[in-house]
């Protein structure tokens, strides 16, 4: 074999070094571009470029979201403890980051940071108390022209549950808050109260009431609440129904049922544009998801279809955009966070297809844990372009459930996103964007100097 001269060897070595350095520079440049795409708003995107002010969104940097003991895969380097263990450990070094103290609370009584959402911070009502509306949903009432936020009031001591590693709070009831702007909330009280004496009642305080949702029936003029009803062992697995003539209650509890004879756990209700309503619920011990059309009075189920068969998903949040139906779900890991998935269907009865994890921004740990939260509802964003929504989620605090937090973030749907190959159907893209500080694009009223958005 011919030997290469030393001068040629040095030349090749120099070329190799400079080539290697150039390659590193290109990788660094691509990384920086990628970081800007991950953490900064796209100048042409519907959100947040439609805000009135450039400072409406404050993005978190990689440095602020990096836990010193965790790798990018979410696994710790200190003894092999994983992310879920860290989250569940109340003495973990990450807890003060995930659950900021009361000094940083969102307080509508103060003028600073008006209308800004800070996901994960304590959120106070107009009385200065932490909002108690966990696992809840939002109803916009066209009659009163107000928003109503219903959810579990967990303002009681957290105690050991009858199931190991599943702490609980006795039923207090369903809390209700009203608002004109989705940021300033007035406490309307407990609109469905726990039963204190009758141990055989579904709402007896040692039982379980979760994920209440309210829809309005135009034909009957009634506000109808559906909720998950269970006992302490979680083997009743039913849905409960209550009605009221007012959005602020009181609601009268009617009954519970196992829809079509199936067990029902995490659930939600969805009202379509034509007034038809549907119940979505986990069944067969969270193995499948079922969807049932409700009767015209919204008090009973009619037909049933199995969807997401064998997928082990829970915490459904259903919404619609341009004749397509979407659903955010979580995995089944108790109070601990996990990766969200988004599903899409042309018919609400399915088939439903999985699009993947919708979380964008922050870092891989946050995205894989749905920003340390679990889905509960998706609301069209007032005053924003079509396809823009607000994603509502709970950041559960297992050792003190009353101090669980709310994570509200912007969600967008791009229905002409991409296709896998020319001629194939277009696959929509759903994105939930992480922001440590953001607000809905408000519009100024000529008769009011305060910020207001358009009521739908």
pLDDT at residue 5, as a whole number: 36
Q: Is the pLDDT of residue 354 over 50?
A: yes
Q: Is the pLDDT of residue 228 over 80?
A: yes
Confidence (pLDDT) at 38: 28
> Average per-residue pLDDT in the chain?
83
Task: Express each pLDDT in 267-277 by its tens digit.
Answer: 999 999 999 99
- Among 37, 80, 38, 85, which Cα is nearest to 364's? 38
Joined together, the tokens standing for residue 100 give 């900021």
**Residue 88 pLDDT:** 82
Q: CA 12, CA 282: separation in Å to the nearest integer?
A: 64
Q: What are 71's two structure tokens?
A: 């790798």
Rounded to a whole number of angstroms, the distance between the first and last alpha carbons of the chain is 81
pLDDT tens, residue by residue, 31-53: 333 332 222 222 222 344 333 33
Model confidence at 131: pLDDT above 60: yes
What confidence score (pLDDT) does residue 441 get? 83
pTM higher than 0.85: no
* Vertex 341: Cα angle to 335 and 342 (nearest 5): 130
Task: Name all domains of the chain by residue range, CATH numbers in brackets.
Answer: 54-452 (2.115.10.20)
For the sheet with 222-230, list strands across it: 208-217, 222-230, 238-244, 252-257
Cβ atoms of 394 and 388 within 8 Å: the answer is no
Residue 247: burial class (beta carbons within 10 Å; 0-12, 13-18, 19+):
buried
């Amino acid at each position: 074999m011919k030997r290469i001269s030393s001068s040629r060897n040095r030349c090749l070595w120099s070329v190799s070094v400079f080539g290697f350095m150039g390659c590193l520079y290109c990788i660094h440049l691509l990384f920086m571009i990628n970081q800007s795409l991950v953490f900064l708003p796209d100048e042409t995107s519907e959100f947040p470029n439609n805000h009135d002010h450039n400072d409406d969104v404050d993005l978190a940097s990689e440095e602020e979201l990096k836990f010193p003991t965790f790798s990018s895969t979410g696994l710790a380097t200190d003894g092999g403890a994983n992310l879920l263990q860290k989250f569940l450990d109340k003495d973990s070094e990450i807890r003060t980051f995930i659950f900021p103290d009361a000094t940083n609370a969102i307080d509508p009584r103060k003028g600073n940071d008006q209308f800004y959402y800070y996901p994960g911070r304590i959120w106070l009502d107009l009385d200065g108390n932490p909002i108690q509306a966990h696992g809840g949903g939002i109803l916009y009432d066209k009659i009163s022209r107000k928003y109503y936020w219903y959810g579990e009031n967990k303002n009681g001591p957290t105690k050991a549950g009858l199931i190991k590693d599943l702490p609980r709070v006795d039923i207090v009831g369903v809390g209700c808050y009203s608002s004109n702007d989705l940021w300033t909330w007035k406490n309307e009280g407990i609109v469905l109260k726990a039963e204190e004496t009758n141990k055989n009642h579904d709402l007896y305080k040692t039982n379980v009431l979760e994920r209440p949702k309210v829809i309005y029936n135009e034909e009957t003029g009634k506000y109808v609440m559906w909720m998950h009803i269970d006992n302490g062992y979680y083997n009743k697995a039913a849905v409960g129904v209550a009605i009221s003539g007012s959005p602020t209650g009181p609601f009268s509890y009617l009954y519970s049922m196992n829809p079509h004879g199936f067990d029902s756990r995490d659930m939600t209700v969805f009202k379509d544009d034509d007034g038809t309503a549907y119940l979505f619920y986990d069944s067969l011990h969270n193995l499948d998801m079922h969807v049932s059309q409700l009767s015209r009075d919204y008090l009973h189920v009619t037909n049933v279809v199995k969807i997401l068969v064998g997928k082990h998903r829970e915490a459904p949040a259903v919404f619609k955009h341009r004749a397509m139906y979407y659903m955010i779900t979580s995995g089944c890991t108790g109070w601990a966070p996990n990766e969200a998935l988004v599903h899409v269907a042309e018919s609400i009865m399915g088939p439903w297809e999985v699009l993947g994890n919708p979380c964008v921004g922050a870092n891989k740990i946050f995205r894989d844990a749905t920003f340390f939260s679990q889905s509960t509802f998706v609301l069209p964003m007032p005053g924003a372009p079509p396809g823009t929504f607000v994603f509502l989620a709970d950041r559960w605090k297992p050792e003190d459930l009353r101090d669980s937090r709310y994570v509200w973030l912007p969600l967008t749907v791009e229905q002409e996103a991409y296709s896998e190959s020319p001629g194939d159907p277009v696959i929509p893209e759903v994105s939930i964007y992480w922001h440590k500080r953001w607000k809905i694009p408000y519009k100024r009223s000529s008769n009011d100097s305060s910020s207001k958005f358009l009521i739908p």
